[in-house]
Amino acid sequence: MTQPQPLIFDIKRYSINDGPGIRLTIFFKGCPLSCRWCHNPESLSMRTQKLYTRSKCIGCGECVKACQNQACLLGKGGIVTDAERCQVCGACAEACPSLATEMSGRSYSVAELMGIIEKEIPFFDQSGGGVTFSGGEPLMHTPFLLELLNACGEQQIHRAVDTSGYGKTTDLVAIAEQADLFLFDLKLMDAERHREFTGVDNSLILDNLKALATTGVQIEIRVPLIAGLNDDRQNLEQMATFVAQLPGPRPTLSFLPFHNIAENKYPKLGQIYDVSEMAVPGTERLQQAVDICADHGLIASVGG
Ligand code: SF4
Ligand code: SF4
């Protein structure tokens, strides 16, 4: 049965941080979390969104002319979109000569995506790479994802799934049967702080990680390490203790140091990027995180 097509907001070639070898990473739109530091704010919504970059705008007014709904207005500060009137049709983006206006989110069929994936097979074969399904949250599109994973599996393409772990346990276990590797995010062990900074409780995520570990699938735990948020000894000790006690093969851990490359993305969506409580962790803290894991018999590293 053909599954409903989710929206994809990016397809990244030659990725080297999303699993082994050279990878093609496919980013789904839609996420049940809203992490304050999110590097992909365009991934949160399931819907197509209009992005506007003021610095690229040459003030030509082509977008205003193209809009049939009088939703696109040119003022002194650049383009303003009337959200009530905007139908997110994309005509303004098509008309824009400078890519100041773009649309984020496009649907693809499984066949279309497989066409794109198959072109990368020579790179996968040479490098031991494959395809990584990321987001957003791929678990929000499980039936479609399963079709894709199955199609990749038929061609012996290595398949990784990058997840927040926040989804139905039955979906996660079904996906584990079709995936070769999970990149599983762990952020904060304290439930209240997890809710405060991501919008959701972490109990489902921790339960799902246990369930996933039981399947025996290869898991790499990914920890976005953020000074002032989760780089304290208590959080890291709790995390290492939890991971060391998981059933099945021992996951590895990767600490991904916080960076603020997303700060330019938020204004494009008309949003504010508030990371005032967060900072890049120092090398000592990164080393401490790796050492704490080693004390628990875990293999950890810095970077993806
Ligand atoms: S997306 Fe369509 S409706 Fe919205 S501002 Fe652009 S042209 Fe107008
Ligand atoms: S078409 Fe593009 S460059 Fe021209 S006014 Fe609109 S956003 Fe600016």
25 C-alpha to ligand 1 centroid (Å): 29
Whether 143 lines ligand 2, by a CB cut-off of 6 Å, is: no
Residue 2 belongs to a domain: no
Residue 250 belongs to a domain: yes
Domains identified in the chain, total number: 2
The residue-averaged pLDDT of 27-32 equals 97
Closest ligand 1 atom to Cα of 66: 7
Whether 79 lines ligand 1, by a CB cut-off of 6 Å, is: no
Pocket test for ligand 2, best of 55, 86, 98, 268 (most atoms within 8 A of CB): 98
Q: Which residues contact 303 (CB under 8 A, 6 or more apart)?
A: 17, 254, 255, 256, 257
Whether 186 lines ligand 2, by a CB cut-off of 6 Å, is: no
Answer yes or no: do 172 and 227 share one domain. Answer: yes
Asked if 10 contacts 27 with a C-beta cutoff of 8 angstroms, the reply is yes
Residue 258 belongs to a domain: yes
Q: Could you read off the pLDDT of 41-56 as tens digits, one per residue?
A: 999 999 999 999 999 9
Pocket test for ligand 1, best of 72, 73, 102, 106 (most atoms within 8 A of CB): 72
With 70 as the cut, is the pLDDT of residue 129 above it?
yes
Answer yes or no: do 232 and 263 share one domain. Answer: yes
Residue 260 binned pLDDT confidence (cut-offs 50, 70, 90)? confident
Lowest-confidence segment of 112-121, 157-166, 236-245, 270-279 by average pLDDT: 270-279
Closest CA to 52 of 32, 24, 71: 71
At 114, which CATH number?
3.20.20.70
**pTM (predicted TM-score):** 0.94
Answer yes or no: do 128 and 274 share one domain. Answer: yes
Q: Please name which ligand lies nearest the alpha carbon of 95.
A: 2
Residue 171 belongs to a domain: yes
At 67, which CATH number?
3.30.70.20
Answer yes or no: do 66 and 208 share one domain. Answer: no
In angstroms, the CA 288 to CA 292 distance is: 6
Answer yes or no: do 96 and 184 share one domain. Answer: no
Pocket test for ligand 1, best of 88, 101, 102, 269 (most atoms within 8 A of CB): 88
Q: Which amino acid is at 13?
A: R
Residue 240 belongs to a domain: yes
In angstroms, the CA 79 to CA 102 distance is: 12
Last residue of a domain, one of 86, 104, 122: 104
Answer yes or no: do 73 and 201 share one domain. Answer: no
Closest ligand 2 atom to Cα of 72: 6
Closest residue by Cα to atom 3, ligand 1, is: 86
100 C-alpha to ligand 1 centroid (Å): 13
Closest residue by Cα to atom 3, ligand 2, is: 57
Last residue of a domain, one of 63, 84, 104: 104
Closest residue by Cα to atom 8, ligand 2, is: 57
Residue 274 binned pLDDT confidence (cut-offs 50, 70, 90)? confident
Whether 58 lines ligand 2, by a CB cut-off of 6 Å, is: yes
Answer yes or no: do 90 and 229 share one domain. Answer: no
Answer yes or no: do 184 and 70 share one domain. Answer: no
Answer yes or no: do 80 and 176 share one domain. Answer: no
Residue 149 belongs to a domain: yes
Asked if 288 contacts 230 with a C-beta cutoff of 8 angstroms, the reply is no
Whether 100 lines ligand 2, by a CB cut-off of 6 Å, is: yes
Q: Could you read off the pLDDT of 85-125 as tens digits, one per residue?
A: 999 999 999 999 999 999 999 999 999 999 999 999 999 99
Answer yes or no: do 206 and 296 share one domain. Answer: yes
Domain residues for 98? 49-104
Pocket test for ligand 1, best of 48, 70, 89, 94 (most atoms within 8 A of CB): 89
Last residue of a domain, one of 104, 123, 138: 104
With 90 as the cut, is the pLDDT of residue 219 above it?
yes
